[in-house]
Each structure stands twice: as C-alpha cells, then as structure tokens.
Amino acid sequence: MSSSTTLPDFDFVVPQITQETANLPLLSAVLEGFVDGILVLSEAGTCVHSNQKGRALCRDLSNDGSSTSLPTCLQTMSKHLLESRELYPEIPLVLTQELTSQSGYQIRIRVQWLDFPATSGSYLLVSLENKTRSAHSSALLEAVQYNLTPRERAVWVLRRANRSYEDIAKELYITVNTVKRHLKSIYAKRREVTEAVAN
C-alpha cells in the first residue's frame, strides 16, 4: 500500500431511518427479507444501510453488546478490504471469516465490494450468516424428509450442529450408545430416501 494512502478510522454507526433511506422502500424491503444479516458500508466508514438481522448479529458480535457501533472484527475486515483494493485493484476479493458470537452462534462474515454504476463511490457489502441457525433449519427439514422420530430429530439437530456424541448424550440425558443407535437408524433412513430419489 502506498504511504500516501490513509484509511478511514471506521467509526461505524448503525444508521437510523433517514429521509434518504425512507425514499428507498423497495431496497429496505429486499434487505430485510434476507435470511442473513446485511450491512452496506461506505468507503468512508459509515453504515449506509443495515437490516434488522444485521444489527442483531452486530450486537451479538460486539464485545460490549453495543447497538450503535460495528464490532471490531468487521472494522478490521473492512480495513483489510480497503487495503486490498490499493494492492490488487483488478481483483474482486471477498474476505471471509468465521467467529463465535457472545451467544455461542457460529457466524460466517463475508466482506466484498459493492459497486453502483450510477454513483461515483464504492461501498462494502457485509453479510453475516448465522451458521448455527442455518444448520438447525437444515436438520429440521431433513428430519421431515427422512421421516425421523421425535428422538431421532433431537439427536440429528444436535449432530448437524457438530456436537460430539458425548455432548448429545449429556444434553438429551441418554447414553452414548443410544446416540450411536439413533444415528445408525438416521443414516439408514437417509440412505433409503437417497436411493429412492436416485431410482
């Protein structure tokens, strides 16, 4: 990076509803509809827009639980993306990192450039995916698809969240052997469904 380039301090503040954002109801509705948290940041370090899920995940990632500023991890990733544009202007980089939030959720953070042809400036698009909730939703859908029993569903939800056999046994008050037996049954049901779809 050249020595003449100065990076912003990234004093991000989560935006309030302003006249500018109030005039964009379609954009607001689209961003609120995303399953992931979404933040749009200017190069100067101000948050242009954020959806409700994005603000909630920012609070959960923040060390102090602040609802008015972005977590340090997002500030750092944004600074690195700005630096990368100076070093690699022709390469559209996407920075990705996975963190554990204060609530214990696994959060995947992606920061990338968002260029609007109609405007002179560029923006950063930050997406925050709650991987823990995504895995939970997938496990519940698979439980229906594989016709799992209520106990198998409980075991499967925890297993899809990467919980160990021992953790599952403790949480459900069953033995590790019972966990293994349920998982064997689940895998057999999965195989049946997969083979039926293949034929």
Can you give the pLDDT at residue 104? 84
Output the pLDDT for position 69: 73
For 18-62, what is each residue's pLDDT tens digit?
445 445 677 677 778 778 899 988 887 788 888 889 988 988 888
In order along its 199 residues, the chain shows pLDDT tens digits of 333 334 445 544 444 444 454 456 776 777 787 788 999 888 877 888 888 899 889 888 887 766 567 888 888 898 888 888 878 878 888 999 999 888 888 999 999 988 766 666 788 999 999 998 888 899 999 999 999 999 999 999 999 888 899 999 999 999 999 999 999 999 999 999 999 888 8
HEC string for the chain: CCCCCCCCCCCCCCCCCCHHHHCCHHHHHHHHHCCCEEEEEECCCCEEEECHHHHHHHHHHCCCCCCCCCCHHHHHHHHHHHHHHHHCCCCCCEEEEEEECCCCCEEEEEEEEEECCCCCCEEEEEEEEEHHHHHHHHHHHHHHHCCCCHHHHHHHHHHHCCCCHHHHHHHHCCCHHHHHHHHHHHHHHHHHHHHHHHC
pTM: 0.70
